[in-house]
């Protein structure tokens, strides 16, 4: 079976403009692939570059070198060189993303925040809201909160809205950046169940997760990002 995602020799550094333009190397020689129905978990200490790798795949960060290949409708798109318009289309059709923080449009009710990815892909709003309600129930968001603004929610409630929004579309690739960081045990179990369902349906999953129990439950492979950070440090020293 061919890959859904493949990274080839990817590197990322940041320019610290307030430090005289100093270059800070984050990761180098990042190389791995993910197939349909497979979950690859990225591990390593905080600051090793796990989130940076996910953001490069999603197109929020540009990589300095290498290829980030995503299979879309039988074609292969290199995220590293894709134009912004192509990336927007890729996010609608192929790449889902659950970040560490909810970035919702102000004054939009929680149920519409969750439903928006389906509406953007042409699903009628009422049908999208019904599907959103299913996910909000699974993640224990009380119905009386659905019409309220997520900005008024607790951190854990906001993260559950975030998870519901990211898991709602059935996309070939799902990126998860510490999806259970602010959740209690019951909701962690709900997220685990959602991930297992996504894998069963053939979604390729890449997750940055510190929770050892969740990692052991979902991972088909574990990649220690510390080795890529060490390669970046070595490259920066030379």
Structural contact between residues 55 and 103, judged by C-beta atoms closer than 8 angstroms: no
Spell out the residues 6+ positions from residue 64 whose beta carbon is closer than 8 angstroms to its own.
11, 12, 13
Please provide the size of the chain in residues: 238
**pTM listed for this prediction:** 0.93
Give the whole-angstrom CA distance, residue 56 versus residue 37: 21
3-class DSSP state of 13: strand
Mean pLDDT, 10 residues at a time, the chain of 238 residues: 90 76 83 97 91 96 95 91 94 93 79 95 96 96 94 90 95 95 91 96 95 93 88 66
Nearest CA among 162, 215, 159 for reference residue 182: 159
Which residues fall within 8 angstroms of residue 185, CB to CB, at 6 or more apart? none
Residue 231 has a pLDDT of 81
| CA 46/CA 55 separation, integer angstroms | 15
* Cβ(238)–Cβ(33) below 8 Å: no
The Cα–Cα gap between 170 and 96 comes to 9
Maximum C-alpha span of the chain: 58
* Contact present, 167 and 136 (Cβ < 8 Å): no
Q: What is the pLDDT of residue 126?
A: 97
Query: Can you name the residues that pair with 75 across neighbouring β-strands?
Result: 72
Query: What does the pLDDT read at residue 146?
Result: 96
Helix, strand, coil percent content, the chain, rounded in steps of 5: 40, 25, 30
Q: Exposed, middle or buried: residue 197 (CB in 10 Å: 0-12, 13-18, 19+)?
A: exposed
Round to whole Å and give the CA distance between 140 and 153.
13
62 HSE (CA, 13 A, CB side): 6
- Distance of alpha carbon 36 from alpha carbon 20, whole angstroms: 44
Cα 134 from Cα 116, distance rounded (Å): 14
Rounded Cα distance between 56 and 12, Å, is: 9
Q: Give exposure, 67-81, as e/b (b: 16+ Cβ within 10 Å).
A: bbbbbbeeeebebbe
């Amino acid at each position: 079976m061919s890959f859904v995602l493949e990274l080839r020799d990817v590197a990322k550094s940041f320019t610290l403009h307030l430090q005289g333009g100093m270059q800070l190397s984050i990761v180098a020689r990042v190389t791995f692939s993910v197939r349909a129905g497979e979950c690859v978990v990225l591990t390593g200490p905080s600051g090793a570059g796990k989130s940076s790798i996910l953001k490069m795949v999603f197109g929020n960060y540009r990589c300095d070198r290498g290829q980030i290949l995503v299979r879309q409708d039988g074609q292969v798109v290199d995220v590293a060189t894709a134009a912004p318009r192509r990336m927007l289309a890729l996010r609608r059709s192929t790449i889902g993303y659950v970040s560490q923080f909810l970035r919702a449009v102000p004054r939009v009710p929680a149920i519409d925040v969750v439903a928006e990815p389906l509406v953007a892909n042409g699903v009628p709003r009422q049908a999208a809201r019904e599907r959103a309600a299913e996910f909000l129930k699974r993640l224990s968001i009380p119905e009386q909160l659905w019409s309220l603004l997520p900005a008024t929610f607790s951190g854990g409630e906001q993260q559950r809205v975030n998870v519901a929004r990211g898991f709602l579309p059935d996309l070939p690739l799902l990126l998860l950046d510490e999806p259970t960081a602010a959740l209690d045990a019951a909701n962690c179990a709900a997220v685990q169940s959602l991930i297992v369902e996504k894998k069963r349906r053939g979604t390729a999953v890449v997750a940055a997760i510190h929770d050892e129990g969740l990692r052991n439950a979902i991972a088909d492979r574990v990649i220690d990002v510390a080795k890529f950070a060490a390669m970046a440090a070595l490259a920066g020293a030379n």
